Structure formats: structure tokens, C-alpha cells
């Protein structure tokens, strides 16, 4: 998520396009079901572009999901919004996270063999992996501009991403409409994981991306909150990949062995390692 070379006008246009796209998609595929439960929330670059246009953010209570319950509201000042606008970019696909309510509703779709008409009718109400979004042709012209590729006759590519640990969701309000997105601290945690995985190939990009995102979100979160979020993602990733070995630890060792850190990266990862050691000591004491 490094800074790009787009002009202020181009960034502003992409933000408008992101809102138009999110508005259309969430209108056709509601984020809240008839019972008031959250179906899915948006992530990736689209979520960041929406965040950059909000004046405040509601952090939801993860323990209550898929019920929507606000845990805390935080303000976003103009300086933070301006920095987040640096992350405006065309999206390759629509990244979203499904809740248990959405997954259960999908399971209730009739079988194609038993009820082909019911299957076709109900399936159209949901987002699916791959070309499982709306048709490009039906999108408003402005909404198409946020897509890296908007080929006529094709459908929006969708990517239902997996999460590690608890879902962390936020609500933002733009032009009198609510959107549910990944909580920014969780976006940061996943970016730390992804950048760690690619650090060996692109160390300069890692340092640049990390520094920009860390400095930006440090205006919204404390350092302790960012460390905890990154740690939760890394531990969840290790747990999910246990059969392949401790991947996060491997990436951490790669960082330890590289002496070319800047002033932001090294202190953060030293604190992350310290947090890990303290957490393990507590677990051993309680065990």
C-alpha cells in the first residue's frame, strides 16, 4: 500500500468511484439481512478508500457479531483522511469477508438438482468467489472507474477472504449511507503479515509500505493496539498453517537476520517480539 503517483484530482475521482461502486454492490447485495445481522464486510483497498471519506468510525463489538453493536466511536480528522487518500488505487477484485449469518444463508440455497429454478433465483442474491458479483454492464459509469479492468460482458471478480482470529469490523457513514468494512487495525495486521511474507523479495517496498501505513494509523490507534492487532493476525495465521510449520516465526527470523531496517520498522518489530514473549510467559504461568 505504498504511496502512488496519482494527482489529487485522480485520487479524489477514485474515491468517488469507490463510493459509487460500494453503493451499488451493497444495494444489490445488502450487508445487513432481514434479521438485522451482518452478512459481510468489505476489506482491502476499497475499504481504505471508503474510510478516507468518513468523518468518524464506529468500531463494532466482535463478540456480538453477526449482531451489529457499536463498541466505540472514533473521529477521523482531515489530516488522517488526507494521508489515507494516498492509498487510492483501482481494485482488481471485490474483497469481502463473510459472516456466519451469510454462510448459513448460502447453505439454505435449494439444490440445483432438486429445484433448479429456486437455485438460480436464490443464488443471484449472494456474492460468490470468482465472477460472482454484478455484471460490469449494469454498474454506473462512475463505479466502473474504480475497477482495474471493466470489460463489457464480464462480471465483477469477487474474493471472499479468510480471517485469522476474531472478525474486527467497523462502520463508516458516507453520504448518509452506512458501509461495513474491516477495522483499520485489522487491515494493518494483515498488511504486516503480507509484507512479511514478501519481505525477502522486496525489502525496500516492505519498509516503505509499512512506514506509510504505520504512521497513518498511529493517528487513529495507540502503538499497543496496532501491536496487538498484528500479533493476533500472525498467531492466527500460524495456527491455520501449523501443518506446514511455523510460517510467521520463519518470516520473523528473516527480519531479524536483515540489518537494513529503518527507524520505524525495527522499533515496532522489537515491541512485537516483546509482546509475544510476555504473552507466552503469561500462558505458561496460567498453564
Whether residue 2 has pLDDT greater than 50: no
Is residue 231 within 8 A of residue 275, CB to CB? The reply is yes
For residues 264 and 87, which has the higher predicted lDDT (pLDDT)? 87
Contacts of 66 (CB under 8 A, 6+ apart): 37, 38, 39, 99, 100, 101, 102
What are the grid coordinates assigned to 284, written together?
505458561
Mean pLDDT of 71-98: 90
Total-model pTM? 0.88
CB atoms closer than 10 angstroms to residue 258? 13
Q: Given this model, what pLDDT does residue 32 score?
A: 98
pLDDT bracket for residue 284 (50, 70, 90): low
Paired with 174 in beta bridges are 177
Between 234 and 39, the more confident residue is 39
Residue 52 C-alpha cell reads as 478516507
Give the mean model confidence (pLDDT) for residues 21-50: 97
**26-35, 61-70, 115-124, 196-205 — which is least confidently predicted?**
196-205
Is residue 210 pLDDT above 90, yes or no? Answer: no
Name the residue among 214, 84, 94 with its Cα closest to residue 206: 214
For the beta sheet containing 158-160, the strands, ordered from the edge strand earlier in sequence to the opposite edge, are 70-75, 56-60, 169-174, 177-182, 40-42, 94-98, 158-160
Whether residue 259 is predicted with pLDDT greater than 60 in this model: the reply is no
**pLDDT score recorded for residue 263:** 63
Q: Is the pLDDT of residue 122 over 80?
A: yes
pLDDT-based confidence at 262, cuts 50/70/90?
A: low
- Give the pLDDT score at 273: 81
Nearest residue to 225 (alpha-carbon basis) of 197, 173, 185: 185
Rounded mean pLDDT of the chain?
87
- Quick check: 96 pLDDT over 90? yes
Taking residues 197-221, report their average pLDDT: 79
All three cell numbers of 61: 463489538
Contacts of 269 (CB under 8 A, 6+ apart): 252, 255, 261
Which position has the higher pLDDT, 127 or 5?
127
Indicate whether 257 pLDDT > 70: no
User: pLDDT value at position 200?
Assistant: 65
Indicate the pLDDT class of residue 1, thresholds 50, 70 and 90.
very low
pLDDT of 258: 60
Phi-psi region of 32 (alpha: psi -120 to 50; beta: other; left: phi over 0): beta
Name the grid cell of 87: 492509498
Cell numbers found for residue 34:
432481514
User: Mean per-residue pLDDT for 72-90?
Assistant: 88
Average pLDDT over residues 32-60: 95
Are 62 and 166 in contact by the 8 Å Cβ rule? The answer is yes
Q: State the CB neighbour count (10 A cutoff) for residue 274.
A: 11
Instruction: Quote the Cα angle for 101-15-209, to 5°.
Output: 85
Task: Residue count of the chain, please give it.
Answer: 287
pLDDT beyond 80 at 206 = no
Q: Which of 157, 159, 241 is nearest to 196 (CA)?
A: 241
pLDDT single digits (tens) 144-159: 999 999 999 999 999 9
Alpha-carbon distance 80 to 51, whole Å?
10
Tens digit of each residue's pLDDT (9 = 90 or more) over 135-189:
999 999 999 999 999 999 999 999 999 888 789 999 999 999 999 999 999 999 9
**Confidence band of 127 (pLDDT split at 50, 70, 90):** very high
Q: Give the integer Cα–Cα distance in Å for 278 and 244.
A: 25
Letter string b/e over residues 216-228, b meaning 16 or more CB atoms within 10 A of that residue's CB: bbbebbeeeebbb
Amino acid at each position: 500500500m505504498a504511496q502512488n503517483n496519482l494527482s489529487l484530482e485522480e485520487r479524489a475521482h477514485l474515491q468517488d468511484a469507490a463510493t459509487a461502486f460500494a453503493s451499488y454492490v451493497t444495494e444489490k447485495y445488502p450487508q445487513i439481512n432481514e434479521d438485522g445481522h451482518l452478512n459481510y464486510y468489505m476489506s482491502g483497498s476499497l475499504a481504505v478508500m471508503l474510510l478516507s471519506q468518513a468523518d468518524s468510525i464506529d468500531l463494532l463489538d466482535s463478540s456480538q457479531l453477526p449482531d451489529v453493536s457499536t463498541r466505540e466511536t472514533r473521529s477521523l480528522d482531515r489530516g488522517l483522511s488526507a494521508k489515507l487518500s494516498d492509498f487510492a488505487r483501482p481494485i482488481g477484485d471485490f474483497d469481502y469477508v463473510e459472516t456466519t449469518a451469510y454462510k448459513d444463508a448460502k447453505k439454505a440455497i435449494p439444490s440445483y438438482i432438486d429445484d433448479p429454478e429456486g437455485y438460480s433465483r436464490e443464488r443471484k442474491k449472494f456474492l460468490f468467489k470468482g465472477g460472482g458479483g454484478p455484471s460490469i454492464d449494469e454498474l454506473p459509469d462512475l463505479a466502473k472507474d474504480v475497477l482495474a479492468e471493466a470489460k463489457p460482458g464480464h462480471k465483477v471478480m469477487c474474493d471472499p477472504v479468510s480471517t485469522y482470529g476474531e472478525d474486527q469490523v467497523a462502520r463508516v457513514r458516507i453520504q448518509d449511507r452506512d458501509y461495513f468494512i474491516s477495522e483499520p487495525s485489522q487491515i494493518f495486521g494483515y498488511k504486516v503479515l503480507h509484507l512479511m511474507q514478501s519481505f525477502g523479495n522486496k525489502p525496500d517496498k516492505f519498509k516503505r509500505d509499512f512506514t506509510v501505513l504505520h504512521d497513518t494509523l498511529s493517528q487513529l490507534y495507540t502503538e499497543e493496539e496496532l501491536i496487538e492487532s498484528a500479533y493476533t493476525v500472525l498467531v492466527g495465521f500460524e495456527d491455520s498453517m501449523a501443518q506446514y510449520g511455523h510460517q510467521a516465526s520463519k518470516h520473523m527470523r528473516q527480519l531479524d537476520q536483515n540489518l537494513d531496517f529503518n527507524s520505524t520498522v525495527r522499533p515496532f518489530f522489537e515491541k512485537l517480539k516483546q509482546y509475544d514473549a510476555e504473552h507466552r510467559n503469561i500462558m505458561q504461568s496460567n498453564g
